[in-house]
A = this chain, B = another copy of it.
């Protein structure tokens, strides 16, 4: 039996966030102590770790909800899980592509030596002047 604080420490999910997830129906309302405090079991811990993990990876609450639902029915074909994953994969690749471009731009921008003034700073010029970008953003 874990208190909400234990759960928080073990999963890295903040206490108010755990309560928020309960409210959102991502985790079910746990048993309560005599004094009405939440008391969790090991499987709650696992479920919350699953959620935390998914959020860290950038999955939306909705995506996680779907996956949790699927994981609760191990006998179903995993086509749905695949579909969800594929959709997310496209998204992730898109994000990576954009971030790579951004990385390159920032690298050039940061390459200045700090021995000059804002007037000729690349950061400012790069942001102000569309003509300096490599990409199409």
Closest chain B residue to A55, Cβ basis: B137
- Do A109 and B127 form a contact, CB below 8 Å, given A103-B93, A117-B75, A118-B73? no
Task: Please state if A105 and B70 are interface contacts (CB–CB under 8 Å).
Answer: no
Q: Taking beta carbons and an 8 Å cutoff, which residues of A are in contact with B?
A: 46, 49-50, 53-54, 56-58, 67, 70-71, 73-79, 81-82, 84-86, 88-89, 92-93, 95-96, 98-103, 105-107, 109-110, 112, 114-121, 123-124, 126-128, 130, 133, 137
Pairs across A and B, CB under 8 Å, 5 listed: A50-B128, A75-B117, A81-B124, A82-B112, A96-B103
Q: How many copies of the shown chain assemble into the complex? A: 2
Task: Please state if A85 and B73 are interface contacts (CB–CB under 8 Å).
Answer: no
